[in-house]
Amino acid sequence: MDSSLRERMARVEMLVKQMKASPDRETGAAAIELVQTLLELHYAGIDRMMEIVADRSGDEVIDAFSHDEIVGQMLLLHDLHPVDVETRVTAALDSVRPYLRSHGGNVELLGVTNGVVRIRLAGSCDTCPSSILTLKTTIETAIQQAAPDVVSIETS
């Protein structure tokens, strides 16, 4: 995601917090309602776009949408992402396995429940605290990029 988009997303979050904290309760409530209404409109539009694409172009375009950094984030925001969280987490783990193996490690997905990902680290790297931290950070970063809707990651 480019830095200007990140900045805009951070700005939106800050403005929503500012509206909620406004001493003018009526204006703050109206502003929040405006944001919610716009999000509902976006949801309906994006949902309809997904239906149109599915009807005409098949799964290839929807797959491209789901893997696009910006479009994928919008789909997640509206709970319209076509790929479930466990599949996205599995793909993220598969993407880092070569790196983990190069350091004598591996990771096993134990499950995903209510947005909580449970993993187990394995391999010869488990005796070196710095290696464990590096591998755990690599894994967590990959999961967060693939599935930002994950609530937490538990390692056993």
What are the pLDDT digits (tens) for 125-142? 555 655 677 788 999 999
**pLDDT at site 96:** 95
Sequential pLDDT tens for the chain (156 residues): 567 877 887 888 888 888 888 888 888 888 888 888 888 888 887 887 787 777 666 677 878 788 777 788 788 878 888 889 999 999 999 999 999 988 888 999 999 999 999 999 887 655 565 567 778 899 999 999 889 889 999 998
**pLDDT at site 87:** 93
CA distance 130 to 117: 22
DSSP-assigned letters across all residues of 64-102: HHHHSHHHHHHHHHTT--SS-HHHHHHHHHHHHHHHHHH
Pair type for strands 105-113 and 116-123: antiparallel
**pLDDT at site 91:** 93
**pLDDT at site 53:** 78
Tokens of 71: 């479009």
**pLDDT at site 38:** 85
CATH assignment of 85-155, among 3.30.300.130, 3.30.200.20, 3.40.309.10, 1.10.3720.10: 3.30.300.130
CA distance 128 to 147: 28
Tokens of 79: 């709970």
Q: What are the domain boundaries of the chain?
A: 3-77, 85-155
Query: With a threshold of 0.85, does the pTM exceed it?
Result: no
CA distance 48 to 68: 18
